[in-house]
Amino acid sequence: MTVTVDTPPLTSVDISSAWTTRMGRLARSASRAALVLPGVDAAEVQITGSPSAPVLHVDCAVRGADALDRVTERVTLSIVHSLEELIGVGFAERHITVRHVQLAC
């Protein structure tokens, strides 16, 4: 027995909406992943662009100046590469900012 379901074809708006929703979810997950890195106090990840040319924005605030290089390396080698694998394409642009913040006493 064959069942046929008539569904309208996806429009570019549907594809764009699905892309935006998926990238938002991945970005929130990546932000949470960055927050568990030692020394990271705040992290925000955004993915913009298109499916064929995604753009990554990462902003991390770290406690110690000595953590800057370590966090930058972990973000790049772990989080960025994992996102590219999940998306299925490399980022056309990467904007990664890891900055030192001093905590108020």
Judged on CB neighbours under 10 Å (0-12, 13-18, 19+), 68 is middle
Span 29-67, pLDDT tens digits: 999 999 999 999 999 999 999 999 999 999 999 988 888
- Minimum mean pLDDT range among 2-11, 66-75, 89-98: 2-11
Q: Return the DSSP state at 38.
A: T
What is the DSSP-derived secondary structure letter of residue 39? T
pLDDT digits (tens, 9 = 90+) for 15-28: 688 899 999 999 99
Please state the pTM of the whole predicted model: 0.80
In terms of residues, how long is the chain?
Answer: 105
Tell me if 73 is assigned to some domain: yes
Tell whether 2 is covered by a domain.
no
- For the segment 67-90, what is each residue's pLDDT rounded down to a tens digit? 899 999 999 999 999 999 999 999
| Cβ 26 vs Cβ 56: under 8 Å | no
In three-state form (DSSP H/G/I as H, E/B as E, the rest C), the secondary structure along 50-70 is ECCEEEEEEEEEECCHHHHHH
Place of tokens 């490399």: 90
CA distance 48 to 60: 18
Q: Which domain holds residue 48?
A: 12-100
The two beta strands, 53-62 and 40-50, are antiparallel
What's the CATH code of the domain at 35? 3.30.300.30
pLDDT surpassing 60 at residue 8: no
As for how many domains the chain has, the answer is 1
Does 69 fall in a domain? yes
